[in-house]
Amino acid sequence: MNISLHQTLADTLWPAKTSNVVLRNIVLAVAGSLLLWVSAKVQIPFYPVPMTMQTMVVLGLGAAFGWRLALATLLLYMVEGAAGLPVFAGTPVKGIGLAYMTGTTGGYLIGFVAATGLVGWLAEKGADKNAFKMFGAMLLGSAVIYLCGATWLSTFIGTEKAIQFGVLPFIYGDILKAALAAALFPAVWSLLKRK
């Protein structure tokens, strides 16, 4: 299989032809938004709030789809949430729609969009084909999510508490998720090259 540095996994596994590019992108965006929905609902007991696999999926979609399709997928997910679908962690119990999106987790949602674009761009530059670069890309993506999330959260509870409750409890989990992605993505590319 002839794989270029700038190909994404989505491009390699389902090549976009002129006749099917729109349909392909719609199917992938909808599938990605559904995966985000599921990842938000799968919760691992953690203090002070449960941990989800959502950040792994957000960043993984960036790496697998590239920045354009990943951004479209995240924007679709945000539209689903804004329309009142219970796609986010904690919904519908903690509210739905725009009220939820402008609450304490709003900054993290903004960070999801920015981070998926960043990781997607880095993947298109070949970061997903190298374990060290992929690990770094995932950590950068997580940092963007933390920065946006904690900045927004600090307007509700102050900077110190935002870092204490909105960043510190999740660092080890996100390092583990980054290491998992750093092992997984290059391994998949290696398998595809053999075929």
Residues facing residue 44 across a β-bridge: 51
Q: Is the dihedral of CA 99, 104, 107, 113 positive or negative?
A: negative
What band does 1 get if pLDDT is binned at 50, 70 and 90?
Answer: low
Is residue 114 over pLDDT 90? yes
Instruction: Output the pLDDT for position 134.
Output: 97
Alpha helical stretches, state H, the chain: 9-13, 21-41, 54-65, 67-82, 97-101, 106-124, 131-157, 159-166, 171-194
Distance CA 182, CA 45 (A): 24
| Tens of pLDDT, residues 133-143 | 999 999 999 99
| Tens of pLDDT, residues 141-158 | 999 999 999 999 999 999
Nearest to 78 by CA among 50, 61, 98, 55: 98
What band does 102 get if pLDDT is binned at 50, 70 and 90?
Answer: very high
Element spanning 195, H or E: none
Q: Kindly report the pTM of this predicted structure.
A: 0.92
The one-letter amino acid code at 165 reads: F
Residues facing residue 43 across a β-bridge: 52
> Domain boundaries in the chain?
9-194
Instruction: Output the pLDDT for position 67.
Output: 97
Q: Which fold has domain 9-194?
A: Arp2/3 complex 21 kDa subunit ARPC3 (1.10.1760)
Element spanning 129, H or E: none
